[in-house]
């Protein structure tokens, strides 16, 4: 597992937080936003930024040059926000949320720390052509600041793309002009069932389905790019074909429908046996759903599905979707010929209640 928070030493804890890009030692080529590497060994790296010098204790063999980090002297922590060599960079906008999804992997908190100033700086330093995730909590609880960030980057860093995870509960007709203007973002929005009562039960919010449909109508009218997301659970796995029919009938404007396996963290960890839908032994509802939407030309993807749990004729839909910093493989995977194309498992996936069918291919 790749650590995204590393110990910080050698700097006055009273220094305010700052964002920098970790650079090499060529002082002539450094920008005003680069921290220069002074010395390094297998356990630590020493950087100089302006009048400050700081030490990062790193994982052995980890290359951090080019990473954009938040240096937090007061907490003695370096946050690796944008890793130069990774396609899996996500900024946590807030930990507040107005839903309590039964399988939430990031259980919400009541407090919020506003870091939009730092997020803007970090995105400004990101490598060209990067895709940056913006997540929560619920980012659109701070919709105005979010829009300002996206618009600023569209203007000043047009090669950057953003993927925003949102519950879709806060879009309003007054947002139409802004949404129509934004062309650097894909909105990842969950829908868990075609039955409004079941969807509302899963997200633990009365009226959520109806509010979501209003948002979809608005987003569709503005031409926004939408990735529809459905996390599989025992509660909705069997009725997935019903949702497929709803998608092609009511949401024909979405770009892709992502069917997702469950992540055993947050709320899902404590109720795993009541939630986990073992698709390795019951792929039929997923198969039926895929075939139905494909008949109507709707793109579909499978996220977080190890390839050996998917029938061979459907493996082309399975993406390497688990972020590189939190995925792993079991010993069973060692001889597998498809390992390089497989998402593997989440680092915290349980070994005692897992897929019944796991094998090397």
Give the chain's domain count. 2
Residue 285 and residue 150 share a domain: yes
Residue 222 and residue 110 share a domain: yes
Residue 228 and residue 203 share a domain: yes
- Residue 199, both tokens: 């969807």
In a domain, 361, yes or no: no
- Please report the DSSP string for 104-172 in residue order: -SS---S-----HHHHHHHHHTSPTT-EEEEESS-GGGGHHHHHHHHHHHHHH-TT-EEEEE--S----
Residue 266 and residue 199 share a domain: yes
Q: Which parts of the chain fold into alpha helices (H)?
A: 116-124, 143-156, 176-181, 196-203, 208-222, 240-250, 267-270, 272-275, 284-295
In a domain, 338, yes or no: yes
State which residues form the domain around 53: 5-79
Per-residue confidence in pLDDT tens, the chain, 361 aa = 788 999 999 999 999 999 999 998 776 678 889 999 999 888 899 999 999 999 999 876 678 999 999 999 999 999 999 999 898 999 999 999 999 999 999 999 999 999 999 999 999 999 999 999 999 999 999 999 999 999 999 999 999 999 999 999 999 999 999 999 999 999 999 999 999 999 999 999 999 999 999 999 999 999 999 999 999 999 999 999 999 999 999 999 999 999 999 999 999 999 999 999 999 999 999 999 999 999 999 999 999 999 999 999 999 999 999 998 899 998 889 999 999 999 999 998 988 778 988 888 8
> Can you tell me whether residue 94 is helix, strand or coil?
coil
Residue 224 and residue 186 share a domain: yes
Pairwise CA distance, residues 119 & 146, whole Å: 10
Can you give the length of the chain in residues? 361
In a domain, 355, yes or no: no
In a domain, 137, yes or no: yes
Residue 123 and residue 66 share a domain: no
């Amino acid at each position: 597992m790749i650590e995204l928070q590393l110990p910080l030493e050698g700097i006055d804890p009273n220094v305010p937080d700052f964002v920098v890009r970790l650079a090499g030692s060529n002082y002539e080529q450094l920008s005003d936003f680069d921290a220069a590497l002074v010395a390094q060994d297998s356990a630590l790296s020493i950087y100089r930024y302006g009048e400050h010098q700081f030490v990062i204790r790193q994982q052995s063999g980890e290359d951090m040059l080019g990473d954009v980090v938040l240096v937090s002297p007061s907490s003695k922590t370096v946050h690796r926000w944008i890793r130069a060599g990774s396609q899996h960079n996500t900024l946590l906008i807030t930990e507040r949320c107005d839903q309590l999804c039964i399988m939430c992997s990031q259980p919400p908190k009541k407090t919020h720390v506003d870091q939009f100033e730092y997020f803007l700086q970090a995105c400004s330093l990101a490598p060209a052509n990067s895709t940056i995730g913006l997540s929560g909590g619920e980012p659109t609880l701070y919709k105005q600041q979010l829009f300002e960030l996206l618009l600023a980057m569209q203007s000043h860093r047009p090669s950057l793309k953003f993927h925003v995870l949102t519950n879709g509960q806060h879009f309003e007709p007054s947002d139409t002009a802004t949404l129509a203007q934004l062309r650097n973002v894909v909105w990842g929005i969950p829908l868990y069932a075609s039955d409004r009562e079941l969807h509302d039960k899963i997200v633990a919010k009365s009226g959520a389905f109806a509010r979501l449909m209003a948002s979809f109508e608005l987003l569709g009218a503005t031409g926004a790019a939408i990735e529809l997301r459905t996390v599989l659970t025992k509660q909705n796995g069997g009725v997935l074909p019903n949702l497929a029919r709803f998608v092609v009938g009511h949401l024909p404007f979405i770009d892709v429908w992502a069917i997702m396996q469950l992540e055993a963290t947050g709320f899902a960890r404590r109720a795993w046996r009541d939630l986990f839908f073992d698709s390795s032994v019951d792929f039929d509802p997923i198969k039926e759903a895929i075939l139905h939407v494909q008949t109507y030309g709707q793109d579909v993807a499978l996220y977080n599905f190890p390839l050996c749990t998917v029938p061979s004729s459907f493996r082309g839909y399975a993406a390497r979707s688990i972020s590189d910093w939190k995925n792993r493989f079991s010993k069973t995977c060692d001889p597998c010929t498809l390992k390089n194309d497989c998402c593997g498992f989440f680092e915290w996936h349980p070994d005692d209640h897992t897929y019944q069918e796991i094998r090397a291919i």
